[in-house]
Structure formats: C-alpha cells, structure tokens
C-alpha cells in the first residue's frame, strides 16, 4: 500500500473499519468475476422488469469491483460505507468524481430498494450503467483487460 497513508485511511484503520490483509491475486480475480456475474444478473433482471433486483444486483457489481481494488491495496473493508470512503481516498484520480458518485448513488438506491421497497426502472438502469463503468475502470486499474 505504500508508506504514505491519508488521514482518512489512517482513521478507518484505527477504527477497524478497514483492516490490513494479505490477499492473493486469485481472490482479487474472484471479486472481478463476481462483479461480472452480478452485472449480468442485473441486466437479466432489468429485461424481466424486476427493477428491485436489477438495482440490488447492479450495486453488488460495483461493490465487488471496488472490493477488488481495495484488496489490491492489501486492505479489507468492514462496511459498505468504509469501502466507499476508501475508494475516495485510494483512487481519486483513477476513478474520478463521476464513478465515485455513481458508487454512492447506487449504494443509496440499493438501500432504498432493499429496505424501503422503493425502486424504479430509471434507478435500475442508472445503477447498471454505473456498474458497467465501474467494472470497466476497475479492470483497467488492475490491468485485467
């Protein structure tokens, strides 16, 4: 992970919301594979007008792509929000504000669909579009293309 750690990452480590971990390349690849599977499942659900599941599956595609990136830095998250914060700190240039925003939006849409039972076709499409972009960028960063 390098010698310099941002104050936000240091705080997350101190609070044990992020943990240092020795993670193999195989585990990172499994996260990318899971992101791809969740994206395909989301697209299938969207075609079947299952907007709740499309939203949830699309979010989990982003989640697994982000986990692969985090794992590549030798870290493991203890919460979805800690993962989002880690992406902001560790990959600000690579992901850019747009992909970070899509991750955050998808997180909110997933929570609404899962816990509030509020979901829509537009939300599902937006989440899937974000998942496609996040997965593509994650594979580029990890040099998996």
Q: Which CATH number does the domain housing residue 50 bear?
A: 1.20.120.330
The reply to whether 9 falls in a domain is: no
With a CB cutoff of 8 Å and minimum separation 6, the contacts of 84 are 66, 100, 103, 104, 107
Are 88 and 5 spatial neighbours (Cβ–Cβ below 8 Å)?
A: no
Residue that has been written with the tokens 């997350």 in this structure: 12
Q: Three-state SS for 17? A: coil
**SS3 for 94-116, per residue?**
HHHHHHHHHHHHHHHHHHHHHHH
Residue 4 confidence (pLDDT): 76
The pLDDT value given to residue 3: 56
Residue 28: inside a domain: yes
Greatest alpha-carbon pair distance for the chain in Å reads 48
Domain total in the chain: 1
Question: Does 79 fall in a domain?
Answer: yes
Question: Is 5 a member of any domain?
Answer: no
The residue segments making up the domain with residue 64 are: 15-141
User: Along the 145 residues of the chain, how does pLDDT read in single tens digits?
Assistant: 455 789 999 999 999 999 999 999 999 999 999 999 999 999 999 999 999 999 999 999 999 999 999 999 999 999 999 999 999 999 999 999 999 999 999 999 999 999 999 999 999 999 999 999 999 999 999 999 7
Task: Evaluate whether residue 3 is within a structural domain.
Answer: no
- Is 1 a member of any domain? no
pLDDT at res. 145? 72
Is position 116 within any domain?
yes
Is this prediction's pTM over 0.85? yes
Structural domain includes residue 125: yes
């Amino acid at each position: 992970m390098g010698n310099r750690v941002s104050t936000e990452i240091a705080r997350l480590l101190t609070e044990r919301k992020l943990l240092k971990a020795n993670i193999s390349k195989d585990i990172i690849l499994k996260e990318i594979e899971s992101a791809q599977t969740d994206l395909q499942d989301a697209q299938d659900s969207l075609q079947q007008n299952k907007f709740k599941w499309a939203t949830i599956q699309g979010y989990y595609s982003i989640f697994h792509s982000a986990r692969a990136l985090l794992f590549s830095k030798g870290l493991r998250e203890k919460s979805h929000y800690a993962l989002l914060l880690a992406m902001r700190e560790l990959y600000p240039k690579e992901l850019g504000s747009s992909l970070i925003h899509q991750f955050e939006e998808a997180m909110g849409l997933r929570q609404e669909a899962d816990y509030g039972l509020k979901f829509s076709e537009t939300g599902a499409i937006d989440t899937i579009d974000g998942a496609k972009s996040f997965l593509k960028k994650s594979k580029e960063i990890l040099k998996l293309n």
